[in-house]
Amino acid sequence: MEPFARVTSVAAPLPIDNVDTDVIIPAEFGVTMERGGLGPHAFNALRRFPDGAERPDFVLNRDPWRQARILVAGANFGCGSSREHAPWALRDFGFRTIVAPSFADIFYGNCFRNGILPVRLPAEVVAGLMDQAGQGANAVFTVDLEAQLLTAPDGGTHRFEVDPWRRRCLLEGLDEIGATLTARPAIERFEAGYAARRPWALPG
């Protein structure tokens, strides 16, 4: 997993509450176990007409937001089913940070497992950031995980909180397996000692 320390980018405004995982990635695209390749289908119903043509008024079909690495969203983002394909699609699209007043719990945890930083801020703060995000190419945001600080285009700063374990894993680019393997020397010492003390308990 790619480490996350800081991202500086325009932010795409998505002023919709209760965006569920089926909106983020429709079920028909969720049959793969590959994390890559889902980005083109992210927000498919919002981005495209039934014939596949792009909807010109949707924010992610317009410059400069096609290249946005930050998404500013409404409350309860990522609700609905627990499919992990939703953060896969967002990450493959290019997003590294999602800012919202609140997230569905399972989606929130899945973001960290897939290299995305979900940032929770008060609704009134997010509303102001949403307005700034809509200003276009000159409205650049910086999200600094080390400092746990979001800097808005107007120079305003907003502190956010991240669980220390999840923060460490994102900074070091570790999922749960990778984090466990950082303790490999201790695990191997335990296994060697266990084998010496209880040889009868080991497979023959």
In this structure, the answer to whether residues 140 and 103 fall within a common structural domain is yes
Cα Rg for the chain, rounded, in angstroms? 20
- Tens digits of residue pLDDT in 62-102: 999 999 999 999 999 999 988 899 999 999 999 999 999 99
In this structure, the answer to whether residues 128 and 191 fall within a common structural domain is no
In this structure, the answer to whether residues 166 and 185 fall within a common structural domain is no
Is 81 within the bounds of a domain? yes
What's the CA gap between 181 and 141, in Å, rounded? 34
Planar angle of CA 18, 89, 138, nearest 5 degrees: 80
- Tens digits of residue pLDDT in 85-144: 999 999 999 999 999 999 999 999 999 999 999 999 999 999 999 999 999 999 999 999
| Overall domain count for the chain | 2
The mean pLDDT value for 177-195 works out to 60
Q: Which two tokens stand for residue 190?
A: 């335990």
pLDDT recorded at residue 30: 66
In this structure, the answer to whether residues 121 and 194 fall within a common structural domain is no
In this structure, the answer to whether residues 118 and 187 fall within a common structural domain is no
The mean pLDDT value for 12-26 works out to 96
Is 99 within the bounds of a domain? yes
pTM: 0.85
What's the CA gap between 191 and 195, in Å, rounded? 6
Is 1 within the bounds of a domain? no
Q: Which domain holds residue 187?
A: 175-204
pLDDT recorded at residue 158: 98
